[in-house]
Amino acid sequence: MGPVRGYKKKRKIEKKVEHNASASGSSEEGSVDWWDVFSKRISGPLSSVKGLNKFESVFRISRKTFDYICSLVREHMTAKQANFMFLNGRPLCFNDQVAIALRRLCSGDSLITVADSFGTNHSTVSQVTWRFVEAMEERGLCHLQWPSTEQEMTDIKSKFEKMRGLPNCCGAIDTTHITMLLPQSDLANNVWLDRAKKHSMILQAIVDPEMRFRDIVAGWPGKMNDSSVLQNSNFYNLCEKEERLNGNRMKFTEGTELREYIVGDSGFPLLPWLVTPYQGRELSESRAEFNKRHFATRVVAQRALTRLKDMWKIIQGVMWRPDKHRLPRIILVCCILHNIVIDMEDEVLDELPLSHHHDVNYPPEICESFDKTAFVLRDKLSLYLAGRLPV
């Protein structure tokens, strides 16, 4: 029996559609789009993922967010010609490149594992990932910025106050360690040896009520304490010169003014613009209540850092001899991606557990440094929360 009439013509059309989808990354509904083609290339454990959420399972983000990221980096990534290939000789289209880079960042898998999963080689994965990182640095910083308008800061302060009552609070600060595996024999690596006896790099982050990163510092050795990292940051310098956290002040009835501030744990110094909890076990009722409210407010920073590591696993596990000049840039891009998922109101957020254990097995730090004025202001704030100091 001969072929059905029109069969050859139909096959030619299908091949043309498949080729166009592969080349352009088209996602028009009703056509064979990029993902339909790309998903068939997946091999190994990833190929066994079934169901409607397969895309989310592979990339940890929705297709909507993926498409937005592509639109963000397309111009930068396609400005330079490159001949990236699959092992079968077919070229990687733009969407293929973004997909491979995102998989490398979100899975934390080795270059070889990612390459094997998608049918390419590890050098291609490395080059594509770095090209993506450079593009995100260039095009994605709009998603990681300090609030630029008074209204934006007012909204942030209002949301923080609704949490547990802290007025005029503009952010929560915390640090986490990005662990690395460095040779013990190289004495120069001791500077990266932290208090948990691991080699690590520190990430300091200031977070808003929605767990969005507003300011980050990455690159300092794990040996440094939280206070030192803070004092070496541009954020610290700006605050000390009152060029940041310099908005509307809150006035108590007896004349004391409370400037804008952020909250942090006991590893940070107590400053007029950085409120830390009371130390000690025998605390008055008002101070104990203050500490509870303080913790419930600053926990957003801990949760943000935990989610960052959970979603972008390249910085969660131990990195083998990383390029210490490139690692801060990878951390920055992971933070930008974290914010994009929030800004896009990605549905994957609904499925993520809330945890604040991002630095397991690290003993807490205690900073004894404090500003005398800040000590008085914290007492005033404590009394205000207890209802004993009106405004």
Rounded CA separation 46/56 (Å): 12
**What's the confidence (pLDDT) of residue 69?**
98
Neighbours of 187 (CB within 10 A): 7
**What's the confidence (pLDDT) of residue 186?**
77
177-190 pLDDT, tens digit each: 999 988 877 777 88
**What's the confidence (pLDDT) of residue 26?**
40
**What's the confidence (pLDDT) of residue 52?**
55
> Which residues make Cβ contacts (< 8 Å) with residue 35, sequence separation at least 6?
27, 55, 63
Given CA atoms 307, 308, 309, 312 in this order, what sign does their dihedral have?
Answer: positive
**What's the confidence (pLDDT) of residue 82?**
84
Segment-wise mean pLDDT, segments of 10 residues, the chain, 391 residues: 39 40 40 83 80 83 97 95 92 97 95 95 96 97 96 97 96 96 81 92 98 97 96 98 95 86 97 96 93 97 96 87 89 98 92 80 89 92 88 68
**Helix/strand/coil for 180:** strand
**What's the confidence (pLDDT) of residue 51?**
60
**What's the confidence (pLDDT) of residue 379?**
94
Rounded CA separation 191/201 (Å): 10
CB under 8 A, 24+ apart: contacts of 180-188? 180/318, 180/319, 180/320, 180/321, 180/322, 180/327, 181/318, 181/319, 181/320, 181/321, 182/321, 183/321
